[in-house]
Amino acid sequence: MIRWSWRFYNIGRQLREIVEEHIFVAGNEKKKISNLPIKNMEQDNGLVYTDIASPVGNIRLVATRRGLTAVLWEGEDYTRTKLSKPDREDHAPLLLLAQQQLLEYFDRKRTVFDLPLDMQGTPFQLKVWEALLTIPYGRTKTYGDLARQLGDIKAVRAVGGALNKNPISIIVPCHRVIGGSGKLVGFAGGLKNKSILIDLEKKDRTPTLFD
């Protein structure tokens, strides 16, 4: 298992200090990947969390010193994401920024997130989660589409397994992946919440010539 962080542009100075190491800058070739065991990374990065209310229930935001590491569904424990139990910290700058951007998203005022992400997973899982970040707001792809994008159409089942382990729901948009027939399938937050998120984005998206 390794941990890989993505940092996007326009992060405030305070958050830049949080993620100055082990980052992947989107659109840039600079990459740092740590191969330290997860337990060592956790010792170096105390986990903190806050809870927020949303149209899909109360969700829990979890962060390390390097970035947002999980968005968990109401009532979800840490089994699926394999995280240690975090400490509550409602005023952590990164959690406040994530909360603000999620509320803007639910209010249809934001279509792109601008947050440092600190994800932990296998190399294959990280590839799948990175591919999720390429799915535009208001669009969907099938499991087969993602497998094809990753270069192995036979990896559909493995892609589904990686999506189920995606720790940063909504922001890393596994809700935008649907079944080959167009049906909503397989979602850690439940199909009702998946439908809410897809409908929210589609109502706000401007039609194109390809619709």
Strands of the sheet containing 87-88, edge to edge, are 24-25, 2-7, 117-121, 68-72, 59-63, 48-52, 87-88
* Total count of residues recorded for the chain: 211
Residue 6: active-site member: no
Please tell me the distance from the alpha carbon of residue 126 to that of residue 17, in angstroms, as a whole number.
Answer: 24
DSSP secondary structure code for residue 17 in this structure = H
Catalytic residue among 94, 135, 174, 177, which?
174
Residue 82, sorted as left (phi over 0), alpha (psi -120 to 50) or beta, turns out to be left
CA-to-CA distance for 130 and 99, rounded, in angstroms? 22
Query: What CA–CA distances, in Å, run from 211 to 104, 139, 202, 207?
Result: 26, 10, 11, 6
Active site residues: 174
